[in-house]
Amino acid sequence: MSDLWTRALGGLALYVLGALILWPLAGATVAAVFLALAMAGHALYHLRQLAKLARWLRDPQLSTVPQAGGAWGDVFAELYQIVRRQSKSRHQLSEALARFRRAGEAMPDGVVILDENDEIEWLNPVAEQQLGLNLETDAGRPITYLLRQTQFHEYLAAQNYAEPLILKSARNPELTLSIQLVPFGAKQKLLISRDISRFEQLETVRRDFVANVSHELRTPLTVVGGFLETLHEHPDLPPEERNHQIELMLEQTRRMQRLVEDLLTLSRLESASNPLQEAPVNVPALITRLLREAESLSRGRHRVRAEIHSDAWLMGAEGELASAFGNLISNAIRYTPAGGEVVLRWERTGDGARFSVRDTGIGIEPQHIPRLTERFYRVDRSRSRETGGTGLGLSIVKHVLTRHQARLEIQSEVGKGSTFAACFPANRVIAPEERSALAEERG
């Protein structure tokens, strides 16, 4: 700035110097006129530049900064640099705000920014869906006018936001939200909403699972405990009665053992630390072995046969597949009356391969079929206990098939029987001509 003043004073000094030179040459009048005209021109020049500056200040755009020479050129150049820096700062702030909004919109949780009066400043699309709000129509409105649940009003008024508020959605009763307020800035608040419906469902499943396991174990433990008390209090029981009670205790003990084994199997299948141990599985040989076990389980009460229409193998875990197929077979035998038929079938399909178990049993009503693979779900609880089922067999089947990218198909008609089929994708099927090449690779 001092340089600008120096240049301005230097210009005035030149005018005065010119007048002093003209004075002895042309007289005082001419010198005075020259000085007056020079000063007037100088003033007009500066007034013109001031007018340019005033016009520009009414609409200060970077592209319209005035142009001039001399001291005003330096001033306008400095203004250009200032406006350019401000424009760059505004651009950076706009980009930062845009990034913030994009980040907020991409968040999986709902986000609402509230001002000091608890009025909505901004919210993301997830908050719109979860809380039933709309940014265009609800911005500037108090949040309490829009979320009318009493629990939320009490939570907001209490100003104790260390723990979240669990709230059922007013729009969707099946949606459970975790609401938490986070104070920040000048009395502003950040409202964060999270959908915890799945965690609520998992907690319900966990409670039901514990209750079911407890219920399944209570009955056999009660029976065993009762008989043990009888044997302890009456050591002189007749041998026949004693043997009968011991036999019943053994039966209930085996039932508990089957339940524990199935629970351990499910635990292994669900464990992330238990990857699938794959190897070629000779399915026809496996079915032949399972057929003998089925005949032993049936004890001649059913016609049990196998229809093996393919010599294809599967890539998978033989123990898990044997468990899944065995559960399907044992279920068919348990729920098929004496004299009925159970057929095991292995075949290639257009998109892979299929193992199925068809029976002529009691059948299943359509409303029960979607829930059959749930743990402890039983169509007829009393009948399941009579047949010795644990209620976990089809859950095990479902987990095994999922680990093998396969699916379970169920067809059933009450009074006529059922067909349970495990359908495997083509990438799991090993054709006879592929087995030798696969053996060489693994060799």
Quick one: tokens of 419?
A: 């067909």
At the fourth CATH level, which superfamily is domain 108-195? PAS domain (3.30.450.20)
pLDDT of residue 51: 79
Q: Lowest mean pLDDT of 28-42, 166-180, 201-215, 273-287, name the range.
A: 28-42
Q: Tell me which CATH code domain 279-441 carries.
A: 3.30.565.10
Q: Most confidently modeled of 1-5, 249-253, 300-304, 435-439?
A: 300-304
- pLDDT of 396 > 80? The answer is yes
pLDDT of residue 230: 84
Q: Tell me which CATH code domain 210-270 carries.
A: 1.10.287.130
Q: Which of 403, 372, 378 is nearest to 268 (CA)?
A: 403
- pLDDT of 291 > 90? The answer is yes
- Three-class DSSP category at 211: helix
- pLDDT of 92 > 60? The answer is yes
DSSP string, 390-404: -S-HHHHHHHHHHHT
- pLDDT of 87 > 70? The answer is yes
- pLDDT of 425 > 90? The answer is yes
H or E element in which residue 119 lies: none
CB 131 within 8 A of CB 112: yes
Q: What is the pTM assigned to this prediction?
A: 0.56
Our CA angle for 340, 252, 299, nearest 5°, is 25
Per-domain boundaries in the chain: 2-99, 108-195, 210-270, 279-441
- Compute the distance between CA of residue 56 and CA of residue 62 in angstroms, rounded to an integer: 10
Percent of the chain with pLDDT over 70: 82
pLDDT (tens digit, 9 = 90+) per residue, 224-270? 888 888 888 888 888 888 888 888 888 888 878 877 887 788 778 87
pLDDT (tens digit, 9 = 90+) per residue, 50-70? 777 777 777 777 677 777 766
279-441 and 108-195 share a CATH fold: no
Q: Sign of the C-alpha dihedral, residues 40, 44, 50, 51? A: positive
pLDDT of residue 31: 63
Average of pLDDT values for 127-139? 86
Residues 6+ apart with CB under 8 A from 388: 255, 258, 334
pLDDT of residue 21: 66
CB 161 within 8 A of CB 182: yes
- pLDDT of 387 > 60? The answer is no
Helices (H) and strands (E) in the chain, counts: 14, 13
pLDDT of residue 105: 72
pLDDT (tens digit, 9 = 90+) per residue, 112-122? 989 989 899 88
